A and B are shown apart, each in its own frame.
Chain A
Amino acid sequence: MNTVLSRANSLFAFSLSVMAALTFGCFITTAFKDRRVPVDIHVSKVMLKNVDDFTGPRERSDLGFITFDLSADLQPIFDWNVKQLFLYLSAEYSTKSNSLNQVVLWDKIVLRGENTKLNLRDMKSKYFFFDDGNGLRFDGYSHNCFHHFRRHYTDFTLISIHFSIPTAHHQFLSAKAGCINQLPLN
């Protein structure tokens, strides 16, 4: 500590260690927080078509069109360790040919500082709801799950709604989804 450089070295190293301890403290205060929020999803229109699937070698696959309403308040999830939220709505169901299918229908990125109250009405699905084959017809219950995926120390919450797809093609069915507000983590 006799020279300026030696003192500067010591000072800087100490500051860096303290900074590392603070970062760990930031992590430890938010790692075990419960990040579940109630979500309201309502499916207003379901339409089914059977078209040529141009993305694969299959001949004709089921294509579903879903119009839904979604409302949620994401404010409790944002804290000093969350920088952005990646939300996505995916349909999870089983068919005769596949035991588990997951198709992402819609997604959204919510940055910190933006409006956290989501109140979406009559949203069309962003991505094609193509099925691997012809399995979207009504075979039983179609289980649709809403996931949200958090950026930076990630975690996800599962909220599922059920709705059924029409048995015949080109049939417009107004299906009301049963909303389940909070489910335990998977």
Chain B
Amino acid sequence: MLSIFKSIPTHMDYKGQKLAEQIFQGIILISAVIGFVYGLIIEQFGWTVYIVLAGFAVSCVLTLPPWPMYRKNPLSWQPVIPESSGEPSQKPQESLKKKKHKSN
């Protein structure tokens, strides 16, 4: 069952992550200020908690799923170099083994 969840793509770009973080911080801070003032006026702290929880829910919906607005700046990877034969893939492995020997 877990494989179904793992197959859903949830990545965002770096700029998207920064945007998501700013969005949720802003939403929660605004709802906190509104909740504090409202609770102070009607003299019940319960309403403050409810408003902050509502802000939390809104920011959950806005930032947890990877909306397209968070994927507007994808990283530009280099194009894939096709492998000619098996040799180029073996050489990096040998150099790795040598490095491991040296470090030991």
Q: Chain A residues in contact with chain B, CB under 8 A?
A: 1-4, 7-8, 10-12, 14-15, 18-19, 21-23, 25-26, 29, 78-81
Q: Judging by beta carbons under 8 Å apart, are A22 and B52 in contact?
A: yes
The answer to whether A14 and B24 touch (CB under 8 A), given A7-B64, A19-B52, A26-B48, is: yes
Chain B residues in 8 Å Cβ range of A12: 56
Q: Which residues of B contact A78 (CB under 8 A)?
A: 43
Beta-carbon contacts under 8 Å, B58-80 to A:
59-60, 63-65
Pairs of residues from A and B, 6 with the lowest C-beta to C-beta distance, nearest first? A1-B17, A80-B43, A4-B10, A18-B32, A15-B56, A80-B45
Q: Is the CB of B52 within 8 A of A7?
A: no
- Residue contact A11 to B56, C-beta cutoff 8 Å: yes
Give the Cβ gap from B43 to chain A, nearest Cβ, in Å: 4
Q: How many pairs, one residue from A and one from B, have CB atoms within 8 Å of each other in the complex? A: 64
What sequence of 0s and 1s flags, for each residue 18-34 of chain B, a beta carbon within 8 Å of any chain A beta carbon? 00110011001100100
Assess the A22–B56 pair: CB atoms within 8 A: no
Chain B residues with CB below 8 A from A80, complex form = 39-40, 43-45
**Chain A residues within an 8 Å CB radius of B29:** 18
List of B residues within 8 angstroms of A29 by Cβ: 40
Rounded to whole Å, the gap between the CB of B30 and the closest CB of chain A is 11
Q: Known: A2-B11, A80-B40. Is A18-B45 also a contact (CB below 8 A)?
A: no
Question: Is the Cβ of A18 less than 8 Å from the Cβ of B63?
Answer: no
| Chain B residue, CB-CB nearest to A11 | B24
Q: Footprint of A on B, CB under 8 Å?
A: 10-12, 17, 20-21, 24-25, 28-29, 32, 35-36, 39-40, 43-45, 48-49, 52, 55-56, 59-60, 63-65
For the complex, give the distance between the alpha carbons of A10 and B12 in Å. Answer: 15
- Are B60 and A2 interface neighbours, CB within 8 A? no
- Contact of A11 with B59 in the complex, beta carbons under 8 Å: yes
* Nearest neighbor of A2 in chain B, beta-carbon distance: B11
Are A18 and B21 CB-contacts (below 8 A) given A4-B10, A4-B64, A11-B56? no
Smallest CB separation, B63 vs chain A (Å): 6
Distance, CA A147 to CA B45, complexed state (A): 27
CB <8 Å contact, B20 and A7: yes
Bound: A29/B36 CA distance, A? 11
Q: Which residue of B lies closest to A26 (CB)?
A: B45
Is the pair B25, A14 in contact by a Cβ cutoff of 8 Å?
A: yes
B21:A10 contact, CB within 8 angstroms: yes
Cβ contact within 8 Å between A11 and B45: no
B-chain residues with CB within 8 Å of residue A21 when the two chains form the complex: 32
Q: Distance in Å from the Cβ of B15 to the closest Cβ of chain A?
A: 11
Known A2-B12, A81-B45; contact A7-B28, beta-carbon cutoff 8 A: no
